[in-house]
Chains A and B, each alone.
Chain A
Amino acid sequence: GDSVTQMEGPVTLSEEAFLTINCTYTATGYPSLFWYVQYPGEGLQLLLKATKADDKGSNKGFEATYRKETTSFHLEKGSVQVSDSAVYFCALSVGAQGGKLIFGQGTELSVKP
């Protein structure tokens, strides 16, 4: 079945460091891909998305490129801030399945000043 695998956390970085969180997927159709973020004490928020191969999603300095050949959607940011500390979830949605999201297990990011 369809699934998402993320790199395990927690990830601890110093402020202004480069961030990569790996995400790979398995899907039978043509999924849309997402990154959601969950800040401490808050609900899930959509961070960025890509709906077809080679699309790049970007928001708040974060980027991810939909790579069909490697079935990957890695999240990157050039310079992290303390305020980026959160749990990040990679997810996919296959339209033929009615739009439900299938999530990875989440990666906790902690940024130290």
Chain B
Amino acid sequence: EAGVAQSPRYKIIEKRQSVAFWCNPISGHATLYWYQQILGQGPKLLIQFQNNGVVDDSQLPKDRFSAERLKGVDSTLKIQPAKLEDSAVYLCASSQTATRVEQFFGPGTRLTVL
């Protein structure tokens, strides 16, 4: 079974530029999560999708971050414009359902904002 795929693996941009990350969850998984992991900290949820609807985006900085999950499969997370404090690893995870508690994580995208 293929795991959660993410791209790119690494991205370096300058502040005020825009960037987008892509995630392809495990086939058949209805729930998709984006987490932000700042160096030295645990991951923090940014947004959760159930199929193509948003379940929780309470910690997403909506003035600069946006995310979508078209057709309930792939998802894209965008930052525009980026700030220095956005430097982090962005993790995508998926689970069969929201109540099926095991989440499977992708390898992450390491973003550096200069």
| Residues of A in contact with B (beta carbons under 8 Å apart) | 4, 32, 34, 36, 42-46, 49, 51, 89, 91, 93, 95, 97-106
Interface size class of B (residues with CB under 8 A): 20 to 34
Q: How far is the CA of A42 from the CA of B110 in the complex (A)?
A: 12
Q: How far is the CB of A70 from chain B (nearest CB, A)?
A: 21
Chain B 72-97, CB-CB to A under 8 Å as 1, else 0, gives 00000000000000000001010101
Residue ID in chain B nearest A51 by CB atoms: B101
Say which residue of B41, B42, B55, B99 sits within 8 Å of A95 (CB atoms). Answer: B99
Cβ–Cβ < 8 Å partners of B50 in chain A: 98
Q: Contact check, A105 vs B33: say whether CB atoms are below 8 A apart.
A: no
Residue ID in chain B nearest A34 by CB atoms: B101
Q: How far is the CA of A67 from the CA of B2 in the complex (A)?
A: 35
Known: A32-B101, A51-B101, A98-B98. 14 other contacts (CB 8 A): A36-B105, A44-B43, A44-B91, A45-B105, A49-B101, A91-B42, A98-B55, A99-B95, A99-B98, A99-B100, A100-B45, A101-B33, A103-B44, A105-B42
Chain B 2-21, CB-CB to A under 8 Å as 1, else 0, gives 00100000000000000000
**A-B CB contact pairs (8 Å), 9 listed:** A42-B107, A43-B108, A93-B101, A95-B99, A99-B48, A99-B97, A103-B43, A105-B40, A106-B42
> A49-B101, A99-B31, A100-B33 given as contacts; is B42 within 8 A of A43 (CB)?
no
Cβ–Cβ < 8 Å partners of B44 in chain A: 103
Cβ–Cβ < 8 Å partners of B105 in chain A: 36, 43-45
Q: Contact check, B43 vs A101: say whether CB atoms are below 8 A apart.
A: yes
